[in-house]
Structure 1
Amino acid sequence: DSILNQTLKDIEILCIDANSTDGTLEVLKNYEKKDKRLRVIISDKKSYGYQMNLGIKEAKGEYLGIVESDDYIKTNMYERLYEIAKKNDCEVVKGDFYILESNKGKYSKITPIDFLYNQIISFKTHPNIFNFQSINPIGIYRLDLLRTNQIKLNETPGASYQDNGLWFQIFALAKSIYFINEAFYMLRRDNPNSSVKSKEKVYCACEEYDFIRDFLKKHPDLEKTLAPICALHR
């Protein structure tokens, strides 16, 4: 509902469902009947990366936003981020966020460096950008940036750290990134089934950084600078 109630009305809403059997698909179909902006897409693979790539492929808008199934957003999020993106001609705009645990929200900043807010930056002007929050749903991304550079997620099974590869590619290739010190996204961290809570899935992070190394090999101009950063995060 927080997406449907956005103050920015001219949006397309893609809901990717991996053949769920818990009634989720039926709920989404009902929403689809009520709102012509919403489109349900069925994924034949249970892979977060594959489902995200489907969304990137099918999206028709100018910018892409992401909302995870456990989370919700303020109703003015996309209007505000889009306004900033257009005003400053930015490929990426990201805001602060709240971490929700036990129904309590904690304000979290995307960067601890206050002067980096409200200006255009990139990794070439600020290499320490890779030390900032790597959460993708707190921002919007110009679709042309993703498609022109063939930015895709790793399509490993399940939902285990595939968002790291997306974040790394975007920060490596975007020439205009803009942070605003306003929080719109409510990130839930109290789901016991989350990959960040699973000890078994921690090794998937290593697979993800192998995926990032493969990306860097395709971009030798970036590899010398970013390979050490990749190794550090791993």
Structure 2
Amino acid sequence: MPEISVIMGVYNTNNETIVLESINSILNQTFSDIELIICDDGSTDGTFELLQNISRSDKRIKLVKNETNLGLAATLNHCIRISNADLIARMDADDIADPNRLAIQLKFIKQNPQYALVGCNSILFDETGEWGYREMPQKPQNKDFLFRSPFIHPSILIYKSALLAVNNYRVNKETLRCEDYDLFMRLYVEGYKGYNIQSPLMKFRENRDAYSRRKYKYRIDEAKVRQKGFKSLGLMPKGFLYVVKPLIVGMLPQRFLAILRREKSSVKE
């Protein structure tokens, strides 16, 4: 049985260079006792065939497919159900893991049993190169959820038992773009805690204006997730302004949001 199951959902990502770089960053980890579970979420553009070719190169890859597009939450739940390890690591098909990411996270979580999950900081990049740095709170508390999710989703290593205790990811229309935010709040409600290693153990692919281009219906869904989570965490009514934050931000000019985001995410030398 592997020590870590790395789970990855993929949908219509028929870019061999990007996908291969991401997968290899996991397969080439200094800690190698892993399985990499890749679930194709009903791709229609040849992605599954690409993944089949890649999977033949390493017996640690377990490739499965959803017959129809179910969304990330259901796809990750599929991966969790067939995983064999006690620890689950997240990874996206367009991000790049530092070669020591899993080794460092595994050592930390084994030496610090008070934490159920561990994440890390990240370098932000896009097709033009590195453009920012995301620093997460080291020991996230309930209040840290007011601002945004205090964990970078594809950076986490988490005990499978903790995921099972909260019934994994919630598959719901309102969690379509914030299934991770919802999951982490539910984990904290149940008493689980997390930690962020203060080193960039991954490169997180994100366009500079990604949040400013988010559809307004997804902002409404995020507000619903925030309201429900904040109430369970005892953050209401003081958290009300943060509940409506996505709605207010969505009414601001996109150019202003893009500038504000770049200023918040300056590259560290």
Q: State the Cα distance separating 1:227 from its structure 2 match.
A: 4.4
Q: Secondary structure at the match of 1:225?
A: coil
Give the stretch that moved more between structures: 97-106 or 157-166: 157-166
TM-score w.r.t. the length of structure 1 is: 0.78
How has the CA–CA distance of structure 1 residues 2 and 53 changed in structure 2, closer, same or farther, with 3 Å as cutoff?
Answer: same
Residue in 2 that maps onto 1:128: 143
Tell me the residue number matched to 1:103: 129
The normalised TM-score by structure 2 is 0.69
Task: Check if 1:225 corresponds to 2:234.
Answer: yes
| Alignment match of 2:216 (pick from 202, 211, 230) | 202
The equivalent residue for 1:69 is 93
Equivalent-residue separation in structure 1 for 2:233 and 2:187 (angstroms): 17
Identify which range, 162-171 or 7-16, moves more after superposition. 162-171
Residue 120 of structure 2: SS of its match in structure 1?
A: strand
Post-superposition offset of 1:71 = 1.2
Gaps of 5+ in 2: 1-23, 245-269
Q: Any residues of structure 2 matched to 1:110-149 within 5 Å, and which?
A: 110-111=136-137, 117=138, 121=139, 123=141, 127-130=142-145, 131=147, 133-149=150-166
- 2:109, 2:117 within 8 Å by CA — same for their partners in 1? yes
- Give the Cα separation in 1 of the matches to 2:194 and 2:176: 26
Task: Please report how far the alpha carbon of residue 206 of structure 1 lies from its aligned counterpart in structure 2 after TM superposition.
Answer: 2.3
Distance in 2, matches of 1:30 and 1:158, equals: 32
Query: What is residue 184 of structure 1 aligned with on the other side?
Result: 201
Identity across aligned pairs (percent)? 20
**Residues 63-105 of structure 1 deviation map (CA, whole Å, 9 limit, x = unaligned):** 2111122211111111110110001112111111111132124
Q: Give the 3-state SS of the residue equivalent to 2:154 in structure 1.
A: coil
Structure 1 counterpart of 2:34, from 11, 30, 36: 11
User: Bigger relative contact order, structure 1 or 2, given CA contacts below 8 A and separation 6+?
Assistant: 1
2:76 to 26, 41, 52: 52
- Pair 108,157 (structure 1): closer, same or farther in 2 beyond 3 Å: closer
Match of 1:219 in 2: none
CA distance in 2 between partners of 1:28 and 1:158 (Å): 27
| Structure 1 unaligned residues grouped into runs of 5+ | 112-116, 217-221
More off after superposition, 204-213 vs 63-72: 204-213
CA contact (8 A) 2:189 2:232 kept: no
